[in-house]
Amino acid sequence: MLNDGIKMKDPNKKTTIIPSEKEAIKFAVKNAVKCSLIILCSDVIPDALDLVKKFKEQEARGELNFTD
């Protein structure tokens, strides 16, 4: 439904559909540009939160790098 709305507004806009919530979060974080805002809407809050905490810990240790 979200993709349909995007395509109605801009048919040429590139979108990526990732069925796995975990893989979608990983993709968003690993492809984020520095100072990006990532918004997550999750069906399974504890699992998504654990994954976000893991990325936050990696960022704090300097193990997670963002592109400029």
**pLDDT tens digit at each of 68 positions of the chain:** 889 999 999 999 999 999 999 999 999 998 888 888 998 888 889 999 999 999 999 989 988 877 66
Give the per-residue pLDDT at 68.
Answer: 64
Domain boundaries in the chain?
Answer: 18-68
Tokens of 4: 């349909």
Give the per-residue pLDDT at 25.
Answer: 93
- Locus of tokens 């805002």: 37
Question: What span, in angstroms and rounded, lies between the C-alpha atoms of 19 and 23?
Answer: 8
Give the per-residue pLDDT at 33.
Answer: 87
35 neighbors 47 (Cβ within 8 angstroms): no
Give the per-residue pLDDT at 1.
Answer: 85
Question: What span, in angstroms and rounded, lies between the C-alpha atoms of 10 and 62?
Answer: 37
